[in-house]
Amino acid sequence: MQRVRRRLIWLLNLEFVQPSLRWPIFIALGVFAGAGLVVANISRAVSYMSDAPETCVNCHVMFPQYLTWQHSSHARVAHCNDCHVPHTSFAAHYAFKARDGLRHSSIFTLRLEPEVIRISEPAIPVVHGNCRRCHEAVIAELPMMEAGNKRCWDCHRDVPHGTARSQSATPDVFAPQLSGVSFIEAPQLTGGRLPRSTMEENHD
Amino acid at 113: E
Cα-based distances in Å from 178 to 68, 175, 188, 193: 18, 9, 6, 12
Give residue-wise pLDDT tens across range 115-157. Answer: 778 888 889 999 999 998 898 888 877 776 666 677 888 888 8
Higher-confidence residue of 178 and 78: namely 78
Q: Specify burial of residue 69 (Cβ count, 10 A radius: 0-12, 13-18, 19+).
A: buried
In percent, the amount of the chain with pLDDT more than 70 equals 77
Cα(78)–Cα(87) distance, rounded to whole angstroms?
A: 13
Give residue-wise pLDDT tens across range 61-107. Answer: 788 888 888 888 888 889 889 999 999 999 999 899 889 888 888 88
DSSP assigned state of 130 = H
Q: Is the confidence at residue 201, as pLDDT, over 60?
A: no
Is-contact 180 186, C-beta < 8 A? yes
The mean of the pLDDT values for the chain is 78
Higher-confidence residue of 111 and 32: namely 32
Q: Is the confidence at residue 175, as pLDDT, over 60?
A: yes
Cα(165)–Cα(63) distance, rounded to whole angstroms?
A: 9
Q: Is the confidence at residue 199, as pLDDT, over 50?
A: no
Lowest mean pLDDT among 52-56, 108-112, 196-200: 196-200
Q: Please tell me the predicted confidence (pLDDT) of residue 147.
A: 60
Residues linked to residue 137 through DSSP beta bridges, in sequence order: none
Distance between the two ends of the chain, CA-based, in angstroms?
66
Residue 78: which of 57, 61, 53, 100 has the closest Cα? Answer: 53
Higher-confidence residue of 17 and 92: namely 92
Q: Domain segments of the chain: what residues? A: 62-161, 173-204
* Beta carbons within 8 Å of 169's beta carbon, 6+ residues apart: 64
Angle, vertex CA 181, rays to CA 78 and CA 80, nearest 5: 10
Cα-based distances in Å from 10 to 111, 119, 152: 43, 49, 59
Angle, vertex CA 163, rays to CA 55 and CA 86, nearest 5: 45
Using pLDDT thresholds of 50, 70 and 90, give the confidence band for residue 174.
low
Q: Please tell me the predicted confidence (pLDDT) of residue 180.
A: 53
Please say whether the structural domain 62-161 has been given the CATH code 1.10.3820.10.
Answer: yes
Q: Which residue stretches of the chain are H helix?
A: 2-12, 19-42, 63-70, 80-84, 90-109, 124-134, 136-139, 143-146, 196-203
180 three-class SS: coil
